Structure 1
Amino acid sequence: MRKIRVFAPAKLNLYLDVLGKRPDGFHDIETIFEKIDLRDEIIIKEKGRGVKVNVDAADCSQGEENIVYKAVHAIFKETGAGLNLDIEIKKRIPVSAGLGGGSSDAASTLKAINTIFKLRIPDKRLFSIACDIGKDVPFFMMDASFAIARGAGERLKKINLDKRLFHILIKPPISLSTGMMYERIDRCGFSIGAHSLKAALWALKKMDVKALEKNYYNIFEDALAGNSVHIDRIKTLLACSGVRHSLLSGSGPSVFCTFENKEDAENVFKGIPKRKGMGVFCVKTYRGGIYGNNRG
């Protein structure tokens, strides 16, 4: 019996705009992705009959409804493989939080099964399978800490950086449906403001945190509606701790801020009061792979 342990990192969106809705129902976006070292742990065992997916979080989809189950069956359909797998997901990434946890779980599982069981699906085809599973999944298939994504998220360009950022990340005691948030964007209209992916990318490449903060943008902050009170509380909490700027990640509701060094991040982190239902994390850029070697 083979047993594999892999990891699935969360992501932040350092910039996120929605440009319009496509005929296929998806949306064209522009975003800057960053992997962070808040990770789920996935244990894949070759045992039993069929495929079982169990998650240790009550608020996460289980079994056939989980995106990992869908990923496994997509790879079986491609190869004709019929492995008997028991998959356990130990969640550390908050669910429905704008952090890409489910997509990352699916990507790490695809990569692990293809490699360990020698299914020999070429990288290009595996990437195509990932696109069909979920639009954030392709980014997590990349061996890159940072990337620009366009299209529905599948048109990716690696950003070559050997440095890392440090963040405080706060998940308020609510969850937001990505589908619901995109529906709000459709009703509210698409952005025409003075924000620039190019400027945000320039700041990131220079590792100029102040310039990056000035170019923070997430269109979903304009679509929070009644949920804005929860986000405003988090932003106020961070501001009272001396943070200049903070930003929603993905479709929310998680909020993060950025630091140039570990010491500054940890000092602010220590001073943030812990409240019931609120997750507070001190994280950094993830530079490892699915086997967990977070280099640097």
Structure 2
Amino acid sequence: MPSDAPSPPHRPDDSAWTHHPAPAKLNLFLHITGRRPDGYHLLQTVFQLLDWGDDIALRVRDDGRIVRTAGPHDVPPEHDLTVRAARALQAATGTSLGADIAITKRIPAGGGFGGGSSDAATVLVMLNRRWNTGLGPDALAAIGLALGADVPVFVHGRSAWAEGVGERLVPLDLPPRWYLLVDSGVHVPTATLFQAPDLTREAPSATISDFVSGHLRGNVFAPVLRRRDPRIAEALDALSAFGEAQVTGTGGGLFVAFDNPVAAQAACDALAPRWRVRVARGIDRSPLLQDA
């Protein structure tokens, strides 16, 4: 069973730790266009990767155990997506190797910034390399999809247009932007939001051209979140003084886009006394691709 207990001091394979990025993301827009027969919602969105995120440290074990040596204290190891990702890769490949996993968290849980999914993707990509299991990106993305709809975009490591449940991806080169990020501290379970009676589920299907032309805007969950929690309403109102305030994903994370870092930092400084804020730059290619 996985645990947070320290690794045994002696192993035949005492490989060194390696350290790898797990970048955050934003949803630059998010619409629901319908449902599949199995009840899953069909989405259209654009994922923007960021130059800020978590760090994942890995060390190969030869005893097959998956041990999380460091990670978020409020998430039991057996529920942690990194542990589940490592075990899924073991099951898919039949490897006898294991791993120690240490997570340095920066991305707030439940904020819609994709932290858990990105952590899982980094584990899949880098353990596939370190275990020499030889799976390609599509196979790794398929494993990741079973863990969460956002995992495939992090496996492929490109900002992208996404459809389906989030797994059908078209890489995009997005304009340079800096983003003021706000963590409202609100964490609403995703399943609760998808079941909300006031959620709009039948947006007309759109195209990449619609997004590029600026005709696609907004997050379908924003009005639901605004009505349900005054902290999100307050944060959106505060952000609106600096531009178009948006919600990312299904969480309590908010953002405004800027054309230059100076303006983004000035807005960040203005909001810092009241909110947990930071500035991040949009990137089109994940730094994980350099490691892999």
Counterpart position of 1:6 = 20
Distance 1:153 1:195, change over 3 A: closer
- Give, in angstroms, the shift of residue 27 of structure 1: 1.0
- Match status 1:139 vs 2:125: no
2:38 to 11, 18, 24: 24
| Structure 2 counterparts to residues 167-186 of structure 1, below 5 A | 167-184=179-196
Residues 22, 119 of structure 2: 8 Å contact kept = yes
| Structure 2 counterparts to residues 1-296 of structure 1, below 5 A | 1-2=14-15, 3-47=17-61, 49=63, 50-59=65-74, 61-144=75-158, 146-161=159-174, 163-184=175-196, 187-191=197-201, 198=208, 201-203=211-213, 212=214, 215-224=216-225, 226-239=227-240, 242-275=241-274, 278-286=275-283, 287-290=285-288
- Give, in angstroms, the shift of residue 191 of structure 1: 4.7
Residues of 1 paired with 2:149 and 2:272: CA distance?
35
| Residue ranges of structure 1 left out of the alignment (5+ in a row) | 204-211
Residues 226, 232 of structure 2: 8 Å contact kept = no
**Helix, strand or coil for the counterpart of 2:116?**
helix
Deviations 1:83-136 (A, max 9, x none): 231101110000011111101001111000111221111332222212222111
Residues of 2 paired with 1:229 and 1:153: CA distance?
29
| Residue ranges of structure 2 left out of the alignment (5+ in a row) | 1-13
**Helix, strand or coil for the counterpart of 1:236?**
helix
Deviations 1:224-250 (A, max 9, x none): 2653411111122223xx412110101
Residues 5, 291 of structure 1: 8 Å contact kept = no
Instruction: Please give the TM-score of this superposition, normalised by the length of structure 1.
Output: 0.85
Residues of 2 paired with 1:42 and 1:20: CA distance?
36
Question: Taking every aligned residue pair, what percent have the same amino acid on both sides?
Answer: 27
Distance 1:226 1:246, change over 3 A: closer
The Cα RMSD (Å) is 2.3
Residues of 1 paired with 2:205 and 2:266: CA distance?
31
**Helix, strand or coil for the counterpart of 1:218?**
coil
Distance 1:288 1:131, change over 3 A: closer
Could you say which structure has the higher helix fraction?
Answer: 1
Partner amino acid, structure 1, of 2:218: Y
Partner amino acid, structure 1, of 2:211: L
Residues of 1 paired with 2:226 and 2:233: CA distance?
12
Partner amino acid, structure 1, of 2:160: A
Residues of 1 paired with 2:289 and 2:18: CA distance?
9
**Helix, strand or coil for the counterpart of 1:69?**
helix
Residues of 2 paired with 1:175 and 1:54: CA distance?
25
